[in-house]
Structure 1
């Protein structure tokens, strides 16, 4: 019992091991007082413990991962999957997949603590993914799968405290469970969320409901500001505003004002920067440190450079407008230098919004993993640089023949070595012979050892991701979708429109208006500012509704798109063509059997035939014997 209590305590505490294995939350799932779990969290925790016990018995020793992931696995059999589905009984059957994700995280925690059994716990975590995927793909009721298994939020009970409610879609993204994310049912749910066919309930964003007007062909039924909650439309808006942001920067940097005055393009550029900064600050305030990632740090660096450029411009404007004012010219020049310095980041920022396309999405995953792998290199590099820099500085202080400080040349020479362009002239007569010897050793460590380690890490990261690029793309697409779905604001004001929300809605109206009146005012404002896009989206959705109606009339799924072979298939029915159907069945091999099993089965058939032949020979011999005895 002590072991179970320790394990449950880990689920509550914010320990170092938990931070290692639990993926960061993208955005909070509306963690408000109203977001209470609809099921008994204590019973759900018991279901998770039952599943953990089952997996520990099924995977009782360290096995190869391929034995679990094989579709015809002799370990994860149909009986094992059926037993797992029964762990919650009739009442808690829908939460089994969620509980398997809880077990997956528990096994990851154990693998980081119990290093002697790390491989075993990692294999058990894989078993959780495999069973979850098979449960999702074997569920025949799509409505039940989407609403109760994948999108319904559950909590577990840990030492008198309920964990934050979460659903399978969110937890799979947080834990980077690729096998679950790549399952057909999961991807269908993500597509429904991306298109807005499943959306958050009005007034209760913790609950997901179906968009009932997706089959409505009336144009005005789709012209509503709430449709801007759709991740697809939000992504389009972000791309459009990013292109506008880039165009404004191009116009500003190519039209320098010698007088230092702010023109219209610069005012709009800095205004949009303020909107982006406010958006980042609000999300960081609501989410906390878990919101920080590579792209947030990248964008924050860009916004910081633009803020410095704007402050320097304001300082320049505070001086005399005369062109002969040296200080005004100096600050004006510095402002434009900071603005020009941020140019590459403006273009690289566009990559953030291209990951919804498959080619870019897969490549961004590779780059992200490479950046993480390079942290090992930079950690080693920092230690090596610090040690050699201290040695060179010490030599410079001891050598009295050096008339000037060599701090800057030493730093430049070491930096050039890292960039594979060493400068031996600086250290040739530096504290001879110690300086040049030490510099040779430094170059050997940097250029031969550390850089080759970095190349090996990059090769390993590329091979790992490229071999699984499709699943990684689906994972990053699901992550992007959840960033929109789990947004902490019910009213979608995409930057720079968030300035309108702050200045024209929140400050003057939110503090005294009723909730209903304020929501209606938000709808009116959103309808006005998004009207150009809503005109297009309403037309597209009304056209899409025709396809939905056609699919429903023919008994197909709403999202089904007819392919060219399906038009011909209307005139062909293989159920009536018995001759061809029987011929195909006779010639179709059983791919579920491997070569060894097939040979054993053939051997059994041959032994059975041999037994029959021997039996017939015995019967014939006995019959001949009886006939001979009767003749005598």
Structure 2
């Protein structure tokens, strides 16, 4: 099996202070499961050091970021990009893009350590991404770009040992390198991975290979359970299961059993929930603490509510309907109440599996960043609330009224929700209680809530400006999470219960790996047969397009658009249109003022030659 391991391999790596900026890695991988670096780690590190030196020389002072990112930048010129490509020589040229991402991480780390030069180091980090993007987009050999540059695994030398290997696709997602992720070559690679045209090697999960049957027009060649490793198909299954889960919940919450018995719909719903819980536990066990994220917390709260409802219902069933009828009804009512409270979360959970659609994906990115920004508000709110609560309780101690504590907490909560209540404070430690509550309401409603609005507004503007890049980064992350599956055998929850109770427990511990793998394929073939029958037809049809593209000398995923249909019948050079366009097109590679200065410089040189030709005595 190919399993997720701990986040950073050895404990020495995890404890190193140089890795604190990587503690948010998004693509955990166990070093023992991955292939070693394609090149020696020390040589890769030397290439990265050459690039770091070059970028420090190219950007010696703090410059506006716009000068670095501009398409006609005078800083990151074609010559600079060409020199960067030569940093690896002919032997290690494929590792240059990976080394640029290593340099980006170094500069980000340096910006954190040297705050006085943080802007300079951040600009250099941006330059690393720009150079990497231009190298990727300038590579014409697609197969070399995908297999050697983007998907080949490399390591660097750190603390006297070789780090866990990674490729450019993973490293760009880890570092949230939006510029690199937005490059055309990177997106082509993600597209191939998403469609299953590139997949992990069966013999070595760290290597990626092309799907050899993508041009095979035979239906039966694609009817293979192993194709369920394709992220597109896994995502389709997850969306289908989520819709079924939602339908089951809707049916269960709208059909209350007065006697408290569990019906078939509720039984299936709780069984699916158990499968989801097992999946979360398995991933958390294999990956570690850093697997935990926003959606994991969201799902865990949902599963906790449904589990609590189930346990209470079971306890209610343990009571005899004759002897403890009242107690049974109360427990049943409590169980149904908790069950109904989970409804908003069950519906919201559906968004987790719709993020591959651009509209939902961009929206979820915005919500995620807003939630992260709101942590600042809640940190301030907690400190303020604790301070004022202590003041109110202190006043209450003097008054000797022990029953008013709940009123104070309720009034403070109402103020936070922008519905303050001042009536109860007229006779509470007058006038200090009322004055204190006025101050608390002002701080919360005027200061803190406006801070929260400003944070939300800033986060929204930052994300919407880069909405497309953020969506592509999210999509790349999701694709790699599917690709880095916990096992070679894909059993999506709740089908993981079948794997756990009918395959792993009874067979894995004694059956040889070849027979066990074949058994898994048979089971997956049965489980996913409805989808496989459809996907085989889809892939066979797609194979015709691949063959047509290869006949025309185009890429496998090329599509003929309406503006390309008459390309073979038009010759712009023959009718003179090409010459007219060339004469009238502006020079956009450099700024207009630079073009004019160059023209003026040429005219001055020509004028000097004319003057020298007219006065040969002066020249002598």
Same fold judged by TM-score > 0.5? yes
- Residue 540 (str. 1) matches residue 538 (str. 2): yes
Name 2:426's counterpart in structure 1.
428
Kindly report which structure 2 residues correspond to 1:377-526, keeping only aligned pairs within 5 A, or say none.
377-400=377-400, 402=401, 405-526=403-524
Unaligned stretches of 5+ residues in structure 1: 1-8, 623-632
Does the 8 A contact of 2:193 with 2:199 survive in 1?
A: yes
Cα deviation 1:285-344 (Å, max 9, x = unaligned):
110011011001100110011111111011011110349611111111111111001000
Q: Residues 606, 88 of structure 1: CA spacing in aligned structure 2 closer, same or farther, 3 A cutoff?
A: closer
Name 1:588's counterpart in structure 2.
585
Whole-Å Cα distance in 2 between the matches of residues 233 and 411 of structure 1?
A: 50
Q: 1:600 aligns with which of 582, 593, 597?
A: 597
Whole-Å Cα distance in 1 between the matches of residues 26 and 487 of structure 2?
A: 14
Whole-Å Cα distance in 2 between the matches of residues 41 and 319 of structure 1?
A: 66
The structure with the larger Rg is 1
Cα deviation 1:527-563 (Å, max 9, x = unaligned):
1110000000001111111111111111111101111
Does the 8 A contact of 1:28 with 1:488 survive in 2?
A: no
| More displaced stretch, 235-244 vs 579-588 | 579-588
- Residue 46 (str. 1) matches residue 37 (str. 2): no
Name 1:627's counterpart in structure 2.
none
Secondary structure, counterpart of 1:317 in structure 2: helix
Q: Residues 323, 495 of structure 1: CA spacing in aligned structure 2 closer, same or farther, 3 A cutoff?
A: farther
TM-aligned CA deviation for residue 433 of structure 1: 0.1
Name 1:152's counterpart in structure 2.
152
Does the 8 A contact of 2:27 with 2:174 survive in 1?
A: no
Q: Residues 593, 517 of structure 1: CA spacing in aligned structure 2 closer, same or farther, 3 A cutoff?
A: same
Whole-Å Cα distance in 2 between the matches of residues 204 and 33 of structure 1?
A: 8
Name 1:216's counterpart in structure 2.
216
Name 1:358's counterpart in structure 2.
358
TM-aligned CA deviation for residue 42 of structure 1: 1.8
Name 1:3's counterpart in structure 2.
none
| More displaced stretch, 567-576 vs 89-98 | 567-576
Does the 8 A contact of 1:27 with 1:488 survive in 2?
A: no
Whole-Å Cα distance in 2 between the matches of residues 433 and 217 of structure 1?
A: 85
Whole-Å Cα distance in 2 between the matches of residues 27 and 170 of structure 1?
A: 7
Name 1:6's counterpart in structure 2.
none
Name 2:232's counterpart in structure 1.
232
Does the 8 A contact of 1:151 with 1:167 survive in 2?
A: yes
Kindly report which structure 2 residues correspond to 1:57-456, keeping only aligned pairs within 5 A, or say none.
57-322=57-322, 325-400=325-400, 402=401, 405-456=403-454
TM-aligned CA deviation for residue 30 of structure 1: 4.9
- Residue 14 (str. 1) matches residue 12 (str. 2): no
Q: 1:550 aligns with which of 541, 545, 548?
A: 548
Q: Residues 522, 30 of structure 1: CA spacing in aligned structure 2 closer, same or farther, 3 A cutoff?
A: farther
Name 1:564's counterpart in structure 2.
562
Whole-Å Cα distance in 2 between the matches of residues 155 and 575 of structure 1?
A: 49
Whole-Å Cα distance in 1 between the matches of residues 17 and 431 of structure 2?
A: 47
TM-aligned CA deviation for residue 39 of structure 1: 2.1
TM-aligned CA deviation for residue 134 of structure 1: 1.0
Whole-Å Cα distance in 2 between the matches of residues 561 and 132 of structure 1?
A: 27
Does the 8 A contact of 2:74 with 2:590 survive in 1?
A: no
Cα RMSD of the aligned pairs, angstroms, is 2.0
Scaled by the length of structure 2, the TM-score of the pair is 0.95
Does the 8 A contact of 1:395 with 1:435 survive in 2?
A: yes
Does the 8 A contact of 1:11 with 1:158 survive in 2?
A: no
| More displaced stretch, 49-58 vs 236-245 | 49-58
Whole-Å Cα distance in 1 between the matches of residues 85 and 176 of structure 2?
A: 22
TM-aligned CA deviation for residue 111 of structure 1: 1.1
Whole-Å Cα distance in 1 between the matches of residues 269 and 119 of structure 2?
A: 52
Corresponding pairs, count = 609
Cα deviation 1:229-281 (Å, max 9, x = unaligned):
00000000000000000000000000011111010000000000000000011
TM-aligned CA deviation for residue 10 of structure 1: 13
Whole-Å Cα distance in 1 between the matches of residues 323 and 263 of structure 2?
A: 17
Q: Residues 486, 24 of structure 1: CA spacing in aligned structure 2 closer, same or farther, 3 A cutoff?
A: farther
| More displaced stretch, 133-142 vs 240-249 | 133-142
TM-aligned CA deviation for residue 12 of structure 1: 3.7
Whole-Å Cα distance in 1 between the matches of residues 614 and 584 of structure 2?
A: 33
Whole-Å Cα distance in 2 between the matches of residues 181 and 10 of structure 1?
A: 30
Does the 8 A contact of 1:417 with 1:446 survive in 2?
A: yes
Secondary structure, counterpart of 1:347 in structure 2: helix
Whole-Å Cα distance in 1 between the matches of residues 329 and 507 of structure 2?
A: 43
Cα deviation 1:538-595 (Å, max 9, x = unaligned):
0111111111111111111110111111112231122333x21111111111111212
Does the 8 A contact of 2:88 with 2:96 survive in 1?
A: yes
Whole-Å Cα distance in 1 between the matches of residues 508 and 18 of structure 2?
A: 42
TM-aligned CA deviation for residue 609 of structure 1: 5.6
Whole-Å Cα distance in 2 between the matches of residues 23 and 354 of structure 1?
A: 27
Does the 8 A contact of 1:27 with 1:287 survive in 2?
A: no
Secondary structure, counterpart of 2:206 in structure 1: strand
Does the 8 A contact of 1:51 with 1:87 survive in 2?
A: yes
Name 2:527's counterpart in structure 1.
529
Unaligned stretches of 5+ residues in structure 2: 1-9
Cα deviation 1:102-136 (Å, max 9, x = unaligned):
11111111111111111111111111111111111
TM-aligned CA deviation for residue 11 of structure 1: 9.9
TM-aligned CA deviation for residue 617 of structure 1: 6.6
TM-aligned CA deviation for residue 23 of structure 1: 6.0
Cα deviation 1:74-126 (Å, max 9, x = unaligned):
22222222222122222211111111111111111111111111111111111
Cα deviation 1:399-432 (Å, max 9, x = unaligned):
14x4x51111111111110111100112122100
Whole-Å Cα distance in 1 between the matches of residues 66 and 462 of structure 2?
A: 16
Cα deviation 1:492-548 (Å, max 9, x = unaligned):
000111000000100000000111111111111101110000000001111111111
Does the 8 A contact of 1:213 with 1:221 survive in 2?
A: yes
Scaled by the length of structure 1, the TM-score of the pair is 0.93
